[in-house]
Amino acid sequence: MKKAIPLIALVLMLSVQAYPQKKTFVLVRHAEKDVSATADRVDPELTSAGRERAQRLAKVARRYRPGAVYSTDFKRTRDTAAPLAARRGKTVEIYDPKKLKELVDIMLASGTKRFLVVGHNNTTPALANILIGEDRFAPLGESEYGKIWIVKLKNGKVRSVEVIDY
């Protein structure tokens, strides 16, 4: 029994280390995209208002000091993430919006503690829902921009969820 106690203690310590103590996820839908008649329908660029919003995001989100920046592989999401990634000296990592659970697993398993994830009107609230383990947030409207979800986890459990406008 005396030999089992240190082994049990080791297993408990390793299980707590499976997910680092604190993680912060800053989730945002891409900024305003070009929906004009001449815009690329599949992969539109940001409008001037969208580029301004991306700069605003870089200022607002920098206080969270993301150690990793993720984006889907579209111009509008990459261009929304780029200003903050540049300020932080980070490369924008591409993720598949159809594999949100896989993205969560990657982020939880990584040694990084703070993340910025840029997605879409449906995937950003869905990602927040996966992180908090409940279906709380509905997809955004097609013309709804400017919301940030901040999800904080401690030891794999939800510590706080905040939605702010920027």
Give domain status of residue 14, yes or no: no
Per-residue model confidence as pLDDT tens digits over 22-32? 999 999 999 99
Could you tell me if residue 87 is inside a domain? yes
Average pLDDT, the chain: 92
* Residue whose token pair is 């070009």: 34
**Residue 113 belongs to some domain of the structure:** yes
103-139 b/e (C-beta count within 10 Å ≥ 16 → b): beebbeeeeebbbbbbbbbebbbbbbbbbbeeeebee
Total count of domains within the chain: 1
Residue 161 lies in a domain: yes
Domain membership of residue 4 (yes or no) is: no
| Residue range 106-138, pLDDT digits in tens | 999 999 999 999 999 999 999 999 999 999 999
Phi, psi at 33, each rounded to 5° = -105, 160
Q: Which domain holds residue 115?
A: 19-165
Return the residue matching tokens 């599949």: 42
Report percent pLDDT > 70 for the chain. 88
Residue 10 tokens read as 């080791």
The pTM of the full predicted model, rounded to 2 decimals, is 0.88
150 neighbors 57 (Cβ within 8 angstroms): no
* 2 is a domain residue: no
Q: What is the CATH number of the domain that holds 112?
A: 3.40.50.1240
